[in-house]
Structure formats: C-alpha cells, structure tokens
Structure 1
Amino acid sequence: MAHPHKIVVGLDFGTTYSALAWASTNLPGQINLIGNWPSAGILTHHSAPTEIAYHQGSTTDFSWGYDIPRTARRLKWFKLLLESNDEHVQSGTPLPAGMTAMDITRDFLSALYQHAIGTLWRQNGQAVMSMTKVDFVLTVPAVWSDTAKQRTREAAIAAGMSNEHNLSLLSEPEAAAIYTIKNQDRNAINVHDRIVVCDAGGGTVDLISYTVISINPLKVTECAVGTGDFCGSTYIDRNFEVLLQQRMGHHYKNLRVETQQRIIKNFEEVKCAFRDKPDQSVYHVNVPTIDSIPEAGIFGGEFQLTREEMKQLFDPVVDQIMILINSQVQSICSEGNQVNSVLLVGGFGESPYLFQRLETWCRQWGISAISPHGAATAVVKGAVLRGLEPSIPFQMSTVVRRVRRHYGTPMSTPFIQGRHSERDAYSDPITGRKMARNQVAWFLQKGEPIADDRRITRNFCRSFKKYSGPWIDSMVACDLDRPPSRVTRDVKHVCNITADLSSVSKSCYEKKWKNWRKYYIARYNLDLTISSGDMKFELIFKGASFGSISVDFDL
C-alpha cells in the first residue's frame, strides 16, 4: 500500500535521559516533543530517565523511566556498556543474571518504541495513522566504535523499530548541528563560518567541526577529524557518590539502596543549576531519612558541599571537555583557519558552569561561545529534520564528513621481495605462485572527506578448483594516523561479508590450467556505499550483488 505521507520519529537514546520527537511531511516545520511519560505520580519533563527496573525474579516484566517505584532497584548508565569494557563502568552498572547490555537496551528501547507509537495513534487518530508510514531515526555518539553502533542497531531492531518502519542511525553532533544552524537566532552562524559543535551528554562528549558552505539549503563540510570521549555528566555524579561514601563512612552502608539512589537524584538537581558564584559558599543536597551526622557534614537532613568541593566534582570532567575543544580548535588553526564559534549542545550542554568555563576560554581566542535555545533537545529535533529531508523538496542537507579511522580489507597479494615479510609468505596451492598473506587494502583513509552515498570500489580475485562457498571477506579498521600495510594488533576487525555464489555457473568464471589441472578465477569487486552513519559493504560479481552486510560506523 502506498503511503500518501510519512511521520518521522527521532529518538535520542541518552546515557541519563532519552527523548522522543516527531513531525510529518504535511507539517514538517512543526516538531512535536513526545512527553506524557508513564509516571509513578511525579513531575515529568521533555525527556525520560534512561533507567529500567525489573520486577522481582523476572527478566521480562519491568518498569522504566519515571514509572519506576522509589523502592525499586533501578539500572542506569547501561548505555555505556554497549561500548565500554572499563571495569569501573561495569562494576557501577551490575546487570541481572543472564542478561547483557544489549538485552537491557532492547527492553528500554521497546518501551520507548511502544510509547512513541501509542502517542502517535492517540494524537493523530486511526484514520491518519492507517495511511501513514512511520520511520525512526536513532541517534548515536559519533565517538562510538563500529561494534557499539551495531549493537545499538540490533537492539533497536529487536525492540520493533524495523517492523514496517525504516530505521536509520545518525550521529548525535551532526543531528544537533543540523537543527541549530537551521533554527539559529539573529544570524549567529553565517556562510564561510567555521564552527565547533560540542555535544555534551550524560555519558559521552562528541565534537565535530564544520565549515558552513551555505545555509539554505544547508551544506557543511567537516574541517577537522571529529573527536570525543567518555566525559559526560554522569562522571560528576560518580565523583559525588565517592565523596558521599567517604564523608559518611559506615553510615552510607547502612542506607537502603533506594535512599542511596534518591540522594544521587537530589544531587542531580543541584548539579544542573550549579554556576560558580563567589557569593555562594555552600550548596545543599537533600538526604532523606537522615536528620544530622555532623562528622559527615549532614545537618537538618541536608548534605552540605562547599563551593570548592562542588568545583572539585566538576573540574576533572570539565577539564577533559576543554582539552577536547582546545584540540579541535588547534587542529583547525594548524591549517591556517580561524574558528568563529563553539556551539554547546546536549543535556550537559545546558550546564551553567560548563558554559562559564567555555565562555572564559573562548574569550581569549576571540571565539563566540553559543548555547542555543533548547540545547538539550537539539539532537532529537535534528534527527527528525534529517529524517524528513528526503521527502521535502530542496531541503536536503549536504554534509561532507571526514573519516574518523582507516577502513580496509585483509587480502593476499603476489609476494614482492623487499616489500613483504617472509613470515607472511606462502605458496598458493592452486597457482603455485608465491603470495603474501595478511596484507590490507585500505578503502578509506583517516581524515578523507566523504559525502553521502559515495560508492568506493576495489577489485579482487579468487582462485579455486571447485566452488565450496560461501566466501567470506572481512573489513578491518585502524585508528593510527598512518595505517600499516599488513595486519597488526592496531588493525581491528569490524565485520564479515558472506557471499553465496553457489547459483553461479562455472562458465561464468575465468578458466585456467596449471600442470594439466583446471582451476577457475573469479574476479569481483568489493564496494562501499556510504551514507550518514551507515555503510553497506557489498560483493559485486559480473554486475550482480552476491552478498552484503550493513554496518554502522564513525565518519
């Protein structure tokens, strides 16, 4: 059935909070934030806590977001487990027995999916929804590895987001940049400007820098390789938790789990409002069930923090962000260019203290620091805009990215003395030719500019006596500035592509003879087709596709 119009749902799956928004091709300028979250009787906001609590003894029944009872043991920060193998991250997010981070993510995304679909049907009615195609755009950190992005995609598919829907992934800072530039006030960003977008979230901080080529239609090109790190606002929460434990000593261990969780929640309110004010020397965090513990600095049910202690909680994290921003700016300046502005977006991007630090730093470089209106929702709204663009004439944004790492395929090649190592040498059992294994043909170079839907082709060949497929080729990546010509420990496996050519007739292959024995040669192409956040890796034989795999990766 043909759908006369479409709705695009943007989903910003965050470490601490997640947001949903939607718009239709009928009213593309009207982006609607999805609220009305299921709630256990507490005030809700434009985003819901990325938290889940499984019912006692169950791994299928759960509460999520605002609907979790205060007495329940809640799982949070589990998004970081999709990427990080850090012991501190894993120990801080213990999972139910037999469940993985992908299982938790699937369940949480399924709750968001059902809430989004239910809201759309309730707000638009059956008559509209029955003839409407719904697509999803899920944002992911640009700093994430290919594996983490693939895990996120698979969890979203398992959650239902590909059931009669198109699902696409988009990097968080790119989504924020698209929305901010298209909805800027007072021409804060102009053609030829160079801007650094800092997307500061709960878990990750991503930076991407653009040169603005045109505003309408939007065309930007990356002017430095993007960077990022795990230095979001949750690490301030962790610093506070450590301080709380140190100050309270054995009293902390006597607190119930829900009380500990409530104290951290109460600190979040103080954290979000903190700015370095010389005239405010003490900050207070409500501590339920406790009146006073003078040696811990708790008086009248409030945990007291000095101005210096607050800064000590923030500064290790903010310092790391400022190092990332400085590195990005210096990278641009090293090419003889000037940065005009730094855009601070994301949930942590609304922190007054972080903006204070950024503004002070920018002033000495003559750079404008901008915290755009609605910084916390720029990512989810940008995802909706990006998803609608193909359906709106003359509104398609063009983003030329720089590849964040090298991508290639391992291969064997004829041995060349002096170039190849004898440890890689072997004799091809079919042709008898001396070959070098473990060599890498690099498809994409780190820092190389690349636009949407560019197709890159590399030629390969395979010798065989009898087809015994399927054939398996792999893709690898390397983060070094100059990649090695052979497989080393710095070359990481990304994915496999499996090609089944069992239906191909022998007559289609090139026939050869060696010592009166017949063998065949298949000459084929390995193609890369690249779009925003996704890459299709495909084997082409005589103009036909015989195997492909979609992988998600950083550009």
Structure 2
Amino acid sequence: MHQRLLRFYSRRQGDIPTYDVKMASENSSQLLVAAIDFGTTFSSWACSFRHDYEKDPTKIRVKEWNSGVGISSKAPTSVLIRPDGETLEAFGYDAEDKYGRLAGKDEHKDWYYFIKFKMSLYNDKSLTRRTIINDEMGKKMAAIKVISLVIRYMKDDLCKQMEPKIAGKLLPEDIQWVLTVPAIWNDKARQFMREAAVQAGISDNQLLISLEPEAASLYCRRIPLELKESDGTSSIVPLSSGTRYIVVDAGGGTTDITIHEILEDGNVKEMYKATGGAWGGQEVDEAFKQFLIKIFGAPVLQKFKVEVMEDYIGLFREFELKKRKVSLNGNEGLTFSIPASLLEIFRENTGETLTEAINQTQFASNVRVIKENKLRLDPSIMRSFFDTSLRSVCEHLQTFHEDNEKYGISVALLVGGYAESPMLSGAIRENCSSWKVLVPDDASLTVLKGAVLYGYDQSTIVYRVARYTYGVSVFADFIAGVHPLEQLVVNDEGNCLCDNIFETFLTEGTLLRYGQIVYEQKGFVPPDSKTNFMNIEIYASTDEDTKFITNGCCFLLGNLIVTGLDTSIPRSQRKVDVTITHKGTDLHVYATDTQSGRKLNACIDLLD
C-alpha cells in the first residue's frame, strides 16, 4: 500500500520569525492609499484620498522635491546616514548636497553615503536578513537597515504633508500602503522589501507589494495613450478589449517585461511570466564613467571622487540631464563642463593637458576641448553610451516580436524613467517595427501612480502566470526498479521509503486566477509530541518534470511555518489543515486546527 509522508524541516523554536505575514485587506476602505516607488536611481511617493479616487482615479498627489535648480517629481535614491549607523540625516538631493559639503571639509569619513544600492537585492541570489552592502567609501551596513530607513523617511514625510489636509489626526490604520518591486525580482527579494517596510513602521496587514510593470499597466489604462508618427502626426490608441500589449518597464537598474491582455470586463490577464534583466539606465551612466576613466585615468577619477565629492556629484547630475536629449538620429553634439577641481587633480597627477590626454585615446577625432574646461562630444560618442543596454533590451524584445503568431502583441507600452529617453523608444521602434510603441506622458511616474490604483483594487490583474514549478518534499514507499537506490531510507519501523520526492502542487506557466487555491492538505501532524509548531519545506524548480528535490534545477524556496499548536493533546490528534492561496503578488497561507477549527498563525518564510 502506497504511503505518503510529508518531510518536515527541523528547526528550533527560537529560529521561527516573529512576524506573521497577513494579506492587506482587499478593496479596503482606508481613508488614504499611499505608494512608495523605491527605485535604483530615483524614488518618490504618491497618494490619493478615497473621495478623490471615487471621483477621478487619476487624481493622484505626487511628492515634489527641490533639486536646487527646480522642482522634480522624483529624487535620487541617495542616502546619508549619521556616523551612529542608526539615524538617517538626509535623503535625495539633500543627501547629495550635504555629503558633498561634508567631503569638502574632509568631515565625511565617518558618515555613511549610499547610492544606487537597490540592485544588490537583485544581484544577491543568496539574500538573507543579514546581507551587507557597502557605501560609496566602502563602509559596511546591513542592507535591510538602509532600506528600512529610506522607507521610514518616505512614510513620515508623506504623513507630515497629508495630515494638514484632513480634519483631525491621520492615524496609521487610515492608510493603505503599497510598495513597488520589479517583477523579475525573486521571492526572497520581495519578502526582504516587505520586512524592511515592517521595520520602518508600516503594519504588515496594511502593506501591499505591487509589481512595477503591472502598476504601470493599470495606470496607463486610465489615461489617453498617444501614438506619435515620424511625420509629426499623432493619434490616440485605446487599449480596448482583446488588445494584447507588452509592457517594457525601463528603470534605472532593471528592465521588466511582461505581456498583458485586456479581457472583456476590462480586467487584465498576464499572458507570460515576467522576464527582463539588469538593462536599465544605470548601464548608460556606467558607460559614461568608463569614458571618463579612459580620458582621466582611474586613479585620478577615484581621487576626484574621494576629495571633491560635491563636484563629482555635480558632474553626474549634469550627465543625467544631458543624456535625456540624446536621440538615434540627432546631429548635434553635447558639451560638458569639467569641474576645475578635476582638471587640477588631473594635471597634478599626470602633468598633461586635457587635449594631450584625449589625443592618446580612441576619442581623438570626436571629442574636443573647448576653453580648457569643457568637453564637446560628437553625437556618435553620446549614442555609444547606450549601446550595451539597448542591445540587451532589443535582443530580448525581438524574441517576442519575431513570433507574433504565438504572442499576438500589437502595442509596446514603454514606462519608467529610462523610457523617457528617445534612444530607447527609437531603438525599439526600429527593431520591433510592427508594434505601436507608446510612451505615456510622465513615463517615469506611471509605476508610482499605478501603485496607488493597485492599492484600491488588487483584483484588477485577474490572471497571473506561475513563475516556477512549486512542490513539497515527501517520502513514499520505495519501489525497486522505479526509485533510485541512493534515495532509499529505512525508518524506525523497518519500512523502506524513497526520500526527497518532489511532490508538485503548482506547475510553471500555469495561469492562476486571483483568489485561486493552489495547495490544500488536511490532517498534517507535527513531527514530535513536544513542539507547538510545524515547518514544511517548500521547493521550487525550473523544470516542470522534477522528480526529486536533489535535482540541480530544484531549490529550497522557504518554509511554511505554522505556530500555536495545542501541546496539551496527543500528537496524533494535533492535526492541521493547510491552504495556500494565490492573491495579488504573493502566495498566502492559512492554517486551521482540524479538531477545533481554530485559526493558527501561519506564514511562508523565504529568508534566512
């Protein structure tokens, strides 16, 4: 007779996380929905009051940041933390300016200054709660500490600005929070961001995680989308029922790509799991940095950065503005001012003039020195900074464009800060010519504003695609000739069992409906008579035909943890019913005491 035994993960009581992941209330009635878009290069917050949303969903308030030369809807994700390692001193433009002033007086060495650190969550495949990141000078700090400080700053700033707009005091329970993450991030990174937000003082059951391209898609369906033709004409392209479109969310760090179809009722169906890579605007900045290194030399640029940080920041701010003007067919070059401090360090270390240095490089014919302190770059040089990122994005998109019979895409929707670059939209139009390429106004804010809409209704994305094949590890009766000998184990009762069997409960590519139950088992019994908790190993695989958890394509995703079991009754009677449901961007677990019907605390923990 076949027997099936769940394989439990041995864990000490003290290792169990103290948090309890609950789902934020669906279609909640909070006074305010607030979204935080925590970006690699730029970040911001936005919100809307319920009464405004009910009249006009697109009436969304966005934070205004003072850049020193004007007002911006986003601020650089730059963080200045005091030497105590606990207190956030400044964020955004203020952080850049203050750190620059500290560096100018040589008072910066004990401070922590972080920029563009979000990508560490994407790049670190072994992400844990103890993951460390380095600041610009190499000083170390826990990543979750840095991120939680930023989220707390955003939270407090939003509450401070919104409280005067209501009668009475704005209470924590009045706000539904939404935090955006890239769709291509793994499950660990999403949980990491959730836990950072909880550390920042946002209640777990008032927090939603929104995938960035999905949020952008929700907002773009609410606004007119204008198609601009090469002859100067334009037309409005409606995303009507049956339209299948590809969302290209191009940010500073990553480019997220997902395919949606609009259903007859106006809701959205994800057609294929999100793809993409680290192909954002940050690659353009890195190419510019390498250009400077080839001219000035790495030692000079590093000394410039360490000794005159204020000017270093200013140089890259100027590049950020100039790169937005570069187009595929533009004939005008661009001029950069070179800080006097950089020129001085360069002369002291090399004894050369800037012209002499350039003439020794590959740029001798297309980079000129003007009035000793400016560089004039030919259009070809400026465009070359985009080569790596554009090649990666376009090669990936062509796989969808070339098989139109399978994918049926008619529209490409470009969103995110990098989407505002004419270089990116122009390259996609050239490489995917049959698509209507749409770039909404304020493309950099579509994710942020869409996240606010998501906070009001999470069920709009009706179907999503399973990213992996998911399963649990079980034992079964060993069958000679069927099961491999190396998986044979003999239990205390002398029964021959096959260990490490991967029992699938959800297959990669499965279309999941919002609210669908993906796993349901009744009558789980704890592993021994003394413990009041259970830990069930959850595995994921990139191969839908995985047979054993020991296969190379399979990995431990995390642990389904149930606590609060009644130890006063015999172990055999201490049974638990477990259900995993797909809602929103996460899998949610529910556990019930089989005998009493009492709800138990349960969560899926993916982090060490």
TM-score by length of 1: 0.86
**CA distance change for structure 1 residues 94 and 426 in 2, over 3 Å: closer, same or farther?**
farther
Greater relative contact order (Cα 8 A, min sep 6): structure 1 or 2?
2
1:162 aligns with 2:208: no
Per-residue deviation, 1:330:
4.8
- 3-state SS of the aligned residue for 1:206? strand
Secondary structure of 2:185's aligned partner: coil
Match of 1:244 among 263, 288, 292: 292
Q: CA deviation at 1:132?
A: 7.4
Q: Does 1:203 align with 2:253?
A: yes
Cα separation, partners in 2 of 1:48 and 1:172, compared to 1, 3 Å = same
Partner SS, residue 210 of structure 1: strand
Task: Give how far 1:47 is off.
Answer: 0.9
Q: Distance in 2 between matches of 1:81 and 1:121?
A: 34
- Give 2:348's aligned residue: none
Percent identical among aligned pairs is 21
Which residue in 1 is equivalent to 2:160? 118
Partners of 2:491 and 2:292 in 1: how far apart? 65
- Given the alignment of the two structures, is residue 82 of structure 1 paired with residue 121 of structure 2, yes or no? yes
Q: Is the 8 A contact 2:469 2:540 kept in 1?
A: yes
CA shift for structure 1 position 150: 1.0
> What amino acid sits opposite 1:549 in the alignment?
C
Q: Is the 8 A contact 1:500 1:546 kept in 2?
A: yes
Q: Report the CA distance shift for 1:359/1:481 in structure 2 as closer, same or farther (over 3 A).
A: farther
Residue type of the alignment partner of 1:273? K
Aligned residues: 522
Residue 293 (str. 1) matches residue 354 (str. 2): yes
- Secondary structure of the 2:489 match is strand
What does 1:179-328 align with in structure 2 at a 5 Å threshold?
179-185=219-225, 186-214=236-264, 217-249=265-297, 250-255=299-304, 256-280=308-332, 282-289=333-340, 293-294=354-355, 295-296=357-358, 297-300=368-371, 301-328=373-400
Partners of 1:223 and 1:232 lie apart in 2 by 23
Please, what is the CA RMSD of the aligned residues?
A: 2.9
| Match of residue 455 from structure 2 | 387
Alpha-carbon distance between aligned partners in 1 of 2:532 and 2:497, rounded to the nearest angstrom: 22
- Say yes or no: does 1:452 pair with 2:514: yes
Q: Which amino acid aligns with 1:204?
A: T
CA deviation digits over 1:343-400, x for unaligned, max 9? 000111111110011112222xx2211112221111111111111237xxxxx52430
Match of 1:143 among 180, 184, 199: 184
Of the three residues 415, 433, 441, the one matched with 2:495 is: 433
- Give the CA deviation at 1:72: 4.8
Contact 2:565 2:593 in 1 (8 A): no
Q: What is the Cα deviation at residue 195 of structure 1?
A: 0.4
Residues 156 and 241 of structure 1, relative CA distance in 2, 3 Å threshold:
same
1:50 counterpart = 2:77: yes
State which of 537, 543, 550 in structure 2 corresponds to 1:487. Answer: 550
For 2:551, what is the secondary structure of its paired residue?
Answer: coil
What is the distance in 1 between the residues matched to 2:564 and 2:32?
39
Q: 1:244 to 1:6 in 2, by over 3 A?
A: same
C-alpha displacement of 1:158: 0.9
Could you list the per-position Cα deviations for residues 272-296 of structure 1 after superposition, in whole angstroms to 9, with x for gaps in the alignment? 221123422x222222225672124
Cα shift at 1:12: 1.1
Aligned AA (1:324): H
Structure 1 residues 468 and 160: CA distance shift in structure 2, 3 A: closer
> 2:558 aligned with 1:533, yes or no?
no
2:602 to 533, 548, 553: 548
1:12 to 29, 32, 37: 37
- Mapping of residues 391-402 of structure 1, within 5 Å: 397-402=460-465
**Residue among 5, 8, 22 paired with 2:47:** 22
Q: What is the rounded CA distance, in whole Å, between the counterparts of 1:85 and 1:330 in structure 2?
A: 33
Helix, strand or coil: the match of 1:192?
coil
CA distance, structure 1, for counterparts of residue 571 and residue 442 of structure 2 = 59
Corresponding residue for 1:171? Answer: 211
* Deviation at residue 84 of structure 1 after TM alignment: 1.2
- Counterpart secondary structure, 1:52: strand
Q: Verify: 1:369 aligned to 2:437, yes or no.
A: yes
Aligned-partner SS, 1:486: coil
Aligned-pair distance for 1:325? Answer: 1.6
Q: 1:306 to 1:484 in 2, by over 3 A?
A: farther
For the Cα contact (< 8 Å) 2:409–2:435, is it kept in 1? Answer: yes
Q: Residue type of the partner of 1:339?
A: I
Query: How far does the alpha carbon of each residue in 1:41-81 deviate from its partner, in whole angstroms, 9 at most, with x for none?
Result: 44230111111122356542421112122335642111111
Residue 4 of structure 1 contacts residue 131 of structure 1 at CA under 8 Å; is this kept in 2? Answer: no
Taking structure 1 as reference, are residues 302 and 410 closer, same or farther at Cα in structure 2, changes over 3 Å only?
A: farther
* Structure 1 residues 413 and 58, CA gap change in structure 2 (3 angstroms): same
Deviations 1:93-114 (A, max 9, x none): 5576451221111111111111
| 8 Å contact kept, 2:328–2:427 | no
Q: CA deviation at 1:5?
A: 5.2
- Tell me the CA shift for residue 458 of structure 1: 3.8
Which of 395, 398, 408 is the equivalent residue of 1:338? 408
Shift of 1:269: 0.9
Report if aligned partners of 2:30, 2:176 keep a CA contact under 8 Å in 1.
no
CA, structure 1 residues 224+131, in 2 after alignment: closer, same or farther (shift >3 Å)? closer
TM-score with structure 2 setting the length: 0.79
Which range is displaced more, 16-25 or 297-306?
Answer: 297-306
Structure 1 residue 16, shift from structure 2 partner: 0.6
The structure-2 alpha-carbon separation of the partners of 1:145 and 1:298, relative to structure 1 and needing over 3 Å to count, comes to: farther
Q: CA–CA distance in 2 between the matches of 1:162 and 1:286?
A: 47
The alpha-carbon distance between structure 1 residues 260 and 476, as it changes in their structure 2 partners (threshold 3 A), is same
Determine the C-alpha separation between the residues in 1 that align with 2:328 and 2:470: 45
Identify the residue that residue 496 of structure 1 maps to in structure 2. Answer: 559
CA positional deviation for 1:499: 2.6
8 A Cα contact 2:519 2:580, kept in partner: yes
Kindly state the Cα deviation for residue 242 of structure 1 after the two structures are TM-superposed: 1.2
